[in-house]
Amino acid sequence: MLRGAARVAGLLVVLVGLGSAAGGCSGAPAGPGEHRPTATPTAPPTSAPGTSPSPAVTRIGNATAAPPWLGTRVLPVGPNGFAAARDTPPELRNRSIITVDDLPPPPDGRFHATVQAVPAGVLARSSWTSGCPVAAADLRYLTVGFRGFDGLAHTGELLVNARAAGKLVTVFGRLFAAGFPIERMHISSAAELNAPPTGDSNTTEVFACRPVRGSKAWSQHAYGLAVDVNPFQNPYHKGQVVLPELATAYLDRAPARPGMIRPGGPVLPAFTAVGWKWGGNYRSLKDYMHFSATGG
């Protein structure tokens, strides 16, 4: 789970579709009633994307508006550097929250993706610094479509290693076609990654300039070569540590709930097809949200 500049010379815009050779595998077939996904440019925000007001509706299908306290109740951190795991609040035991858009959603409701060099404003609001183990020139800024728990098409953003860009476009295109729901996809700043824990975050993202938990070695996230998908529905668990801390209801993987990564679902085959490995298969711990290019 992710917690926590001058413009790159020559803006390189690469439009990647599901059938792109850059993805490292064949494109996903369109699902029933789906058009073949296409790729079109999306202008990146040059400052932190503003969160729009809460939707006027409180329910769309089975998705509901976020509880008003979400993200506001700070948990005390113990001597091990983590907050204690807690019972999942009733409102989040079957978490299906309406997405509040950070970027304009696709007007046609179809999958779109862009890959480009990282704009200076995007780099400045990320967790990247010159001390990170990857150069800014080796990162790419992605916008990709995703399907929310509300069933609607939304646009997310990712900061990724250039070597992984095409593969991740392919993966998220396949998840979109399969209707797999994602709550939010957003690039976190260093301040957001290092903020006191509230135990209820659920952001799907790739880059975070930080070490492996409990180690001085760089995480694969610091290279832009790992992604966490729906952290709340797919928590990290080692001993007494659960992240996010309020996601304990999702340690029980037997009842299938929306947004969970489970064998037999669409997420594992999508990542396996591009050679990425799942943290849910780790032996010493379980990192159900985590996929990486190296298996680390």
pLDDT by residue, tens only, the chain of 296 residues: 554 433 333 333 333 333 333 333 333 333 333 332 334 444 555 444 444 444 467 999 999 999 999 999 999 999 988 999 999 999 999 999 999 999 999 999 999 999 999 999 999 999 999 999 999 999 999 999 999 999 999 999 999 999 999 999 999 999 999 999 999 999 999 999 999 999 999 999 999 999 887 778 999 999 999 999 999 999 999 999 999 999 999 999 999 999 999 999 999 999 999 999 999 999 999 999 999 999 98
**Cβ count within 10 A of residue 149:** 23
Amino acid 216: pLDDT = 81
**What's the whole-model pTM score?**
0.83
Question: Is residue 236 classed as helix, strand or coil in its secondary structure?
Answer: strand
Beta bridge partners, 241, equal 238
Amino acid 81: pLDDT = 86
Phi, psi for residue 8 in degrees, rounded to 5: -65, 130
What angle is formed at CA 198 by the lines to CA 280 and CA 179, rounded to 5 degrees? 45
Structure tokens at 183: 């709550």
Looking from the CA of 16 toward its CB, the CA atoms found within 13 Å total 33
Amino acid 5: pLDDT = 35
Strand order in the sheet with 286-287: 241-243, 236-238, 286-287
Burial of 89 (0-12, 13-18, 19+ CB in 10 A): middle
Amino acid 38: pLDDT = 36
